[in-house]
Amino acid sequence: MFGDPLEPCSTDPETGYLRDGRCRDVDGDVGEHTLCAVVTAEFLTDSRDRGNDLITPQPAFDFPGLTPGDQWCLCVGRWLEAVDAGVAPPVVLEATNESVLEAVDADRLREHAFDPETFEPGTLDG
């Protein structure tokens, strides 16, 4: 992001459209899984309630299920939806693809930048 090389988002769980740990801008990825976020319980619950269950493992799709505190390459549109709902998870800027800047203002991303000093992932109710 901002001209620097793309850092890995997560290898445990392994994320990215290519499951290579990076939020790459890949032809064919219609969801644009290019924004690296540290998911929170609040975000995961909201996402599940909207029909996108990121909590339940789906082995057939090589998806382990997420827990609060995991880093994951999110769809840009889903993150913007979460911003509007007031549940946007923090963004790991150095692991977010610069293509996100086509849809999200840089200042908005900075406002939501991940800060390990203040991050509280919350807990899931089940």
- Res 49: pLDDT: 95
Taking domain 1-114, whether its CATH number is 3.30.200.20 is answered by no
Q: How large is the average pLDDT for residues 3-10?
A: 88
- Res 5: pLDDT: 87
For residues 56 and 46, the answer to whether their CB atoms sit within 8 Å is no
Domain locations in the chain?
1-114
- Res 1: pLDDT: 60
- Tens digits of residue pLDDT in 50-103: 999 999 999 988 788 999 999 999 999 999 999 999 999 999 999 999 999 999
Residue 126 pLDDT more than 70? Answer: no
Residue 26 pLDDT more than 70? Answer: yes
